[in-house]
A and B are shown apart, each in its own frame.
Chain A
Amino acid sequence: MPVLSTENLTKEYYRRPVVDNVNITVSEGDIYGFVGRNGAGKTTLIRMVAGLAKKTSGSYTLFGVPDSERRIDLVRRRMRVVVESATLYPSLNAVQNLTLQCKLLREDTSCISRLLGDVRLENAASKPVKNFSLGMRHRLQIAMAMVGDPGLLLLDEPTNGLDPEGIFQVRELLVRLNRERGVTILVSSHILGELSKFATCYGFIERGRLIKEISAEELHSECRSFVRVRTRDIALAESLLKARGLRYTVLAEGVDVTGVENAGELVTYLTGSGVNVCGFDNLEGDLERYFLDLIGGGYEKR
């Protein structure tokens, strides 16, 4: 049974859809990477599932309970959300923040020291949160989210603004929570490379629409290699590639062509049609390229 699934979930602001008939499925134990550009609709979808925003149409199911049922509020107690900026009580210290969260969730405060240890904040327990660094706030927020041992974490760009060490710490923490405690995690991000290091499945969203859902294994096999053709006759090369129905990305120094099995045959075709090819390389694909291909985007000419 999926932990979270949406069916044609839609959110409109002033009749403009920001989440447009999105269908995602997050299975138990997954680390679901929700990938999209800024403004794609990731945060809005998370906020709808968390009950912070009202949906316009569609539905979602949380732990098997449809959102139309009254007990959806009760089921949300098994879910925690960390949305955008750190949500903490600034005048309280770390222990007091966690104590307040324990009170809200009617949990024993004995878990506080363990949670602070998990996020490596045991030495800053009595420090006011307003004096925390950004990384410390992010980690405390994850600790707050772990009060009550939830089954599902919805994290909206949890590494935003962090330095590499901070990103590493948050990533390792999430992987540990998933593997050791079986917490299902949906994490949204536009840092595609980061997600690829630990997500088990992905959902790609663009302009409010879900483009594709794919497992990590499928993604790696579909992350195609491509041929980089260096040429100054870019316009001519573009028209020839279009005629062949090939996907390509225009660069300043040439074009990257995907879906080509034989690089030599491609180059022969181009040179035979009058394109002056200065050189070509067979290169491995990556997540960014895959996503750009999915949304049909290309680089601007530099």
Chain B
Amino acid sequence: MKKDNCVVRFFTLIGADFYKMFRSKSFYIIFGVLAGYILLDIGFTALANYMLKEILLIEDGSICANPLFADSLSYGNLGLFLVIFFAVFLCSEFRTNTIRYKVSTGYSRICVYFASLAFTYAVALFGVALCCIINAAVGIPVLGWRHTTADMQNALYAFFALLPFVAVVHTLAYSTKSLGITLGVGLPVVIILPGILGIISLFTQYSAGVEWFTRIVFVALQQYIPQALQAGSEVFPYLALNASLCYILWTALFIAIGCLCFIKQDIK
């Protein structure tokens, strides 16, 4: 057996996960559906633009690729697909008990946990890249692009906003080992919570209350950041920094919880 160190073992585990992922049907189905969804979105938007211009004769109402680009990266779209894929992929290790091959062959639990976490973030980055590529390759030629640096920043903030969501799903999978619980909790967090907070924001706008709220609730401020950018708000840098710190803190919290649960629990 080859001698190795922690770094080698860490990347060995990640490599093994990628080997498994590229041979799993769920990867191709879920990301295929995501790509199809983005393309449909672009298609329907192009159709709407056509109807606005040619039928309703409204010249200035066309929607360009910019909002679709930001929307495709949101946790309600990309995040949803990532939650489903990670729940299926991660929980399958516990369902089939193949996690034993990692734990009982000399990999420490911490190494197994963080290698799996790094793998999930790598796949999340792949998801972001997939959205960017489809929007750039199809959305921009079809719908046009309004040149602004804010939209590239959106991509970065979108990935940033995904950090805590990925951590939540990973924590749920590794602590409960249950696909049902991981999906049952992960999906409402992605779908329902942002909507509730969006309604709350209508009554608070960019007040101190919003900032306080984001400190205590795990939320992506992504929907506020583009609005602030478009409005040219002077408070944008402060909001962006606030949101970023929230993302990092909540991500660290969920990672710590998940790691602790995985280290302490028995594996069947």
Contact = CB atoms under 8 A, between A and B. Distances in A.
Select the residue from B4, B25, B98, B268 with max chain A CB neighbours within 10 A: B98
A53 B1 contact: no
Interface string A91-102: 110001001110
Contact of B1 (A88, A89, A106, A144): A106
B238 interface: no
Contacts of A107: 1-2
A107 B2 CA distance: 7
B19 A103 contact: yes
Interface of B is mostly: loop
A92 B25 CA distance: 10
Contacts of B268: 52
Contacts of B106: 73-77
A211 interface: no
A79 B98 CA distance: 16
A47 B25 CA distance: 31
Interface in A1-54: 47, 50-54
A63 to B, nearest CB: 12
A104 B13 contact: yes
B104 interface: yes
Interface residues of A, number: 34
Interface residues of B, number: 29
B66 to A, nearest CB: 40
Contact of A90 (B4, B96, B107, B266): B96
A87 B1 contact: no
A39 to B, nearest CB: 15
A103 B16 contact: yes
B105 A96 contact: no
Interface string A56-83: 0000000000000000011111111101
- Report, nearest first, the 9 A-B pairs whose CB atoms are least far apart: A77-B106, A50-B104, A53-B266, A52-B267, A76-B106, A87-B97, A81-B104, A106-B2, A103-B16
12 contacts: A52-B103, A53-B267, A73-B108, A76-B105, A87-B98, A89-B20, A91-B24, A100-B19, A103-B16, A104-B16, A104-B105, A106-B2
Interface of B: 1-2, 4, 8, 12-13, 15-16, 19-20, 23-25, 96-98, 100-108, 264, 266-268
